[in-house]
Amino acid sequence: MATIAIAAPHPAGIEAARQMAAEGGGVVDAALAAAAALTVAYPHQCSIGGDLVALVRDGARGIVRAVVSAGAAAAAADPAPLRAAGDRMPAGGPHTVTVPGVVAGWAELARLGARLPLARALAPARALAEDGVAVSAGLARAIRNRLDVVRADPGLSALLLDKAGEPLPAGATLLQPALAATLAELSEDWRHFYTGPTARRLVAVLRARGSLLDMADFAAHRAENTTPLSTTRDGVTWWVAPPPSQGAALLAVLGRKSDPLTAARQAELSRDALLGDPRSGGIDIDGLLLREQRDTAALPSGPKPSGDTVAVTAVDDEGNAVTLIQSVFQSFGSGIAHPATGVVLHNRGSAFSLDPAHPGALRPGARPPHTLCPALATGPGRVVALGCQGGRAQAWILSQVADALLDAPDPEALLARPRWVIGSRDLNRPGPTLVLEPGVPDSDGLIAVADGLGLAVAEVPGPHDEAGHVQMARLRGGVLDAASDPRADGTAVVLTGAAP
């Protein structure tokens, strides 16, 4: 009988996980069901039209693997017309859509450790799409904040506006019959998303809007099962996904002896200058980890788009663990929802650089630099799974809670503490800025450091989405617990399931 601690940013994810536990599913099944349900309940932050990065721990063998299912640009991608139109990638639209990786990522996670067929993990999400889910406060906020994008797209308008053309309010029922039909199709064979009818429908709508993606690009996608990056301090090993994930930035901050804000700023500058796709060229890992200093001012810097994600974390009583993040990047991604499939398509390609000298430059078949940054910690008597919503700020958000969560007696209270983040356009700020929630410890000291780093300072009036939505699950001294950030709509539970 498996006992599973799990956290997710929406109750629908937890309910889906509960169903898997009741059917004898393990930690991977619970995480997959939660992730699938979130694509229905949280279409502003994740979708089967987005990407996925995850870490999986096999408790019996103590092995951690990274699953990087980040989609690539078209093999026919040509940056020249985009360069002619401006100095950076567009924020949305068809040219920002890369091959979505979520579905292949789910399949690889299932292969690594699921006890139940993938179709079972998709069943709660399918029912949620058919029967409807209440619009959460977070989704209602996102519709209002991006109302111009919603109204400009027929698919998003049909999904998110009422008959009078007004935004669905919190508590309204969100029905997604087209998405339910797509999930039913993928339950028969997930490969339909890449080589079957779902792929054909998505490619048709994308090419009609000017995208260069074709069926061969979709068919070529594979979820990468690879070795994570790691570092060990004080007997605890921290694990993150390798590039094109920004996981190295988290290890860089955790490993620095300088003050946390200076470390974060150094890691941010290095990431912006050095992160790209190792499949498309060499990546300077030592520079990303701040093991060696680089003159980042002399290097081209990548774009700074904003991002939205969801994290699911789960750990069981045998030390098996999953931390996954899936995303459409900006709220509602590219601003394109395909009415016939119900798929909201991400805008992950907006993170490409148009500078050919940048390691994250748009190239045929390249994957863009990725903000998704799940993390695991393992040590004597401890397994901690961490992840957060927070776009490019994920590394600094997690760094403020990571060490404390190894032993915090009240993890929920820890996640509720005020935090700070740094960023610029990704935080809707005109330039590099330190953003402080009220009551951040030693805020005066942080402000003084920010002045020395050339960062503007902005204070928000209360807990804010920009400070991230952290999800945590852990096994500590044989005891399971989990916590969900109060900035989100989510919850955390410990589930006792049926015998497998």
Kindly name the residue from 96, 98, 198, 309 that is annotated as catalytic. Answer: 309
DSSP codes of every residue in 189-249:
-TTHHHHSHHHHHHHHHHHHTT----HHHHHT---EEEPPEEEEETTEEEEEPPTTBSHHH
Structure tokens of 433? 């800025």
At 484, phi and psi to the nearest 5? Answer: -120, 135
b/e code 131-161 from CB counts within 10 Å (16+ = b): eebbbbebbbebbeebeebbeebebbeebbb
- Residues whose CB falls within 8 Å of the CB of residue 499, separated by 6 or more in sequence, listed in order: 1, 24
Query: Is 173 tagged catalytic?
Result: no
How many whole angstroms from its chain centre is CA 467? 15
Rounded CA-CA distance 433/425 in Å is 9
Are 13 and 34 in contact by the 8 Å Cβ rule? The answer is yes
Best CA proximity match to 77, nearest among 367, 369, 371: 367
Residues 488 and 12: beta-carbon distance below 8 Å: no
Is-contact 435 468, C-beta < 8 A? no
Residue 67 burial (C-beta neighbours within 10 Å; 0-12, 13-18, 19+) = buried
In the numeric block, the tokens 């694509």 are attached to 39
Cα–Cα distance for residue pair 239/255, rounded to 1 Å: 12
Q: How far apart are CA 325 and CA 310, in angstroms?
A: 6
List residues bridging with 324 in a β-sheet. 54, 312
Residue numbers annotated as active site: 309
